[in-house]
Chains A and B, each alone.
Chain A
Amino acid sequence: MGQILKVEDINVYYGSIHAIKGISFEVNEGEIVTLIGANGAGKSTTLNTVAGLLHSKTGSVHFCDEPIDKLACHQIVSRGIAMVPEGRRVFAHMTVQENLDMGAYSRKGDITKDLERVYEQFPRLKERRKQVAGTLSGGEQQMLAMGRALMSSPKLLMMDEPSMGLAPILVEQIFAIIKELHKAGTTILLVEQNAQAALSVADRGYVLETGKIVTSGTGAQLLASPAIKKAYLGG
């Protein structure tokens, strides 16, 4: 199992706000890795930096052994990273089908197979393929955001709080899909508020606190750690 993503000593600023303070971590091929931490810890900032929406002042990001930290977002995406952004961010005025087409924007060649696969995974989307995405329910939008990211057949799929604002039954469904994707060999970097659920599907996890990594370990280790239990799992 090779390293697919290697982040070394990144420092990210919003103007004068120092949001990420020297973070390093890696993701191996086929793994689910999760970043957990309180609100404002810097989880989204980290994902956005890997995706190229933000850039680090120091350090480096390597994807498949190539540096990507100087590339623009669209170049990084075309190398095989997809992201389900925080808050879904579907194109509200475009139809479900068009949203999925946009997901495959950087791909060349036939996408019908991928489209079928996504519709198989999310039958609800197929029923609503002609519907404008803005009129979907929150859960349906989340499925669309995931389906859209999958349309690019990414080597690395990053998800920022895919269970946010969903009913428990839908959260379960989302995590079932994450497990399924994992089984099918997709490498996943997952950010979650729901630490319990995230750690139970993850191979490894990192705990962020105010822009720094404070702990790391396997999912099971972190779940069992008393400090983590106290801080993130409610006892």
Chain B
Amino acid sequence: MSFLNFLISGISLGSIYAIIALGYTMVYGIAKMLNFAHGDVIMVGAYICFFAVSRYSLPPLVGILVAMVICTLLGIIIEKLAYKPLRAAPSLAVLITAIGVSYFLQNAAQLLWSSNPKVFPMFFQRMVSKTTPDGTVQIVPVNGIDLFGGELRVSYVTIVTILVCLIIMLALTAFTGNTKMGKAMRACSEDKDAARLMGINVNTTISVTFAIGSGLAAIAGVLLCSAYPTLVPTTGSMPGIKAFTAAVFGGIGSIPGALLGGLMLGVIEIMAKAYVSTQLSDAIVFAVLIIVLLVKPTGLLGRPVREKV
């Protein structure tokens, strides 16, 4: 049963990576840039939700919504102030700017919220009354379900994370496949000038992409901190890098690729931790990445660039 346990936690961690990877992959697909500040937007989202719930006693769902709204705005503002002026600049300049924005967000968080760890509240639990052997009735929190007589334990966070990831993937697939804005996004990611000639406002489309990615980052931040409840200003950076890796792994620019890459990365990481070595798990993850990229340079679901002359 322990294998199944590891698999489920791998899928759950992978779901979080997948949601974050979406932000990288969508922005890369359209703006052709790596938004390295994306991981830190996750951290901001987690902090906003933390304060909304712990300090202002808002219900968790409202806290998540507030975090999404603020991160969405933050994403749009970052794009407007930091990246839009560099639209015509070489990609190296944009990359350095993105790294700068990342440090800016981390330092701002340190100033605003200090680097003392915050303990993220438990959202996904339910209170049940339990009769103890001596006959008294107690109300205790339960944060998961036991299966197979307690051999397999699945926490609510895990279930919610996987479900949320699936819903987001389905919603985004429907959005890019069927809506006018979604199709405009695909058109921009293929050929910006041709998209302009269709009457598409490319700047607006890029803003919308940043908005969606950042809104999702807030959800990822809350899910991440629900599973690993220590919140510090650098909380987002490692998952951010892993999710970026997941996006490359799956084929950057591809939405199903982000899902596949995220899930595989999560499962490989947890399995490596469980069966090989905790210290080496990251090295193993990246070794697998390198092998995949050697065999398939565009990632698992990435499309080779082809042109017809």
Contacts and interface: CB of A to CB of B under 8 A. Distances in A.
A91 B306 CA distance: 12
Nearest to A165: B309
Contacts, number: 71
Contacts of B187: 91, 94, 102
Contacts of A89: 191, 193-194, 197
A82 B200 CA distance: 12
Residue of B186, B190, B307 with most partner-chain A CB within 10 A: B190
Nearest to B193: A53
Interface residues of B, number: 22
B37 interface: no
Given A53-B193, A89-B194, A141 B184 contact: no
A150 interface: no
A207 interface: no
A72 B201 contact: yes
A134 interface: yes
B197 A51 contact: yes
Nearest to A102: B198
A90 to B, nearest CB: 8
A78 B199 contact: yes
A77 B200 CA distance: 9
A91 B195 CA distance: 9
Interface in B188-210: 190-191, 193-202
A53 B186 contact: no
Given A77-B199, A105-B199, A134-B308, A85 B194 contact: yes
Contact of B186 (A90, A91, A138, A152): A91
A77 B190 contact: no
A98 interface: yes
Contacts of B191: 89, 91
Nearest to B184: A105
Interface in A91-114: 91-94, 98, 101-103, 105-106
B196 A74 contact: yes
Contacts of A83: 197
A82 B198 CA distance: 8
A52 B190 CA distance: 19
Interface residues of A, number: 30
Interface in A33-89: 51-53, 72-74, 77-78, 82-83, 85, 89
A152 to B, nearest CB: 7
Nearest to B203: A72
Interface string B291-309: 0000000000001001111
Contact of A105 (B190, B198, B308): B198
Contact of B190 (A93, A101, A148): A93
B183 to A, nearest CB: 6
Given A94-B183, A94-B190, A134 B306 contact: yes
A94 B184 CA distance: 11
A153 to B, nearest CB: 12
Contacts of A165: 309
29 contacts: A51-B197, A53-B197, A72-B201, A74-B196, A74-B199, A74-B201, A74-B202, A77-B199, A78-B199, A82-B197, A89-B191, A89-B193, A89-B197, A91-B190, A91-B191, A92-B190, A92-B307, A92-B308, A94-B183, A94-B190, A101-B183, A102-B184, A102-B187, A102-B195, A102-B198, A105-B184, A134-B308, A148-B198, A152-B198
Given A73-B193, A78-B199, A93-B186, 16 more contacts: A53-B197, A72-B201, A77-B196, A85-B194, A89-B193, A90-B194, A91-B191, A94-B183, A94-B186, A102-B183, A102-B198, A106-B198, A106-B199, A138-B308, A148-B198, A165-B309
Interface of B: 180, 183-184, 186-187, 190-191, 193-202, 303, 306-309
Interface of A: 51-53, 72-74, 77-78, 82-83, 85, 89-94, 98, 101-103, 105-106, 134, 138, 141, 148-149, 152, 165
Closest 9 CB pairs of A and B: A106-B199, A77-B199, A73-B196, A89-B194, A105-B198, A102-B198, A74-B201, A91-B190, A105-B199
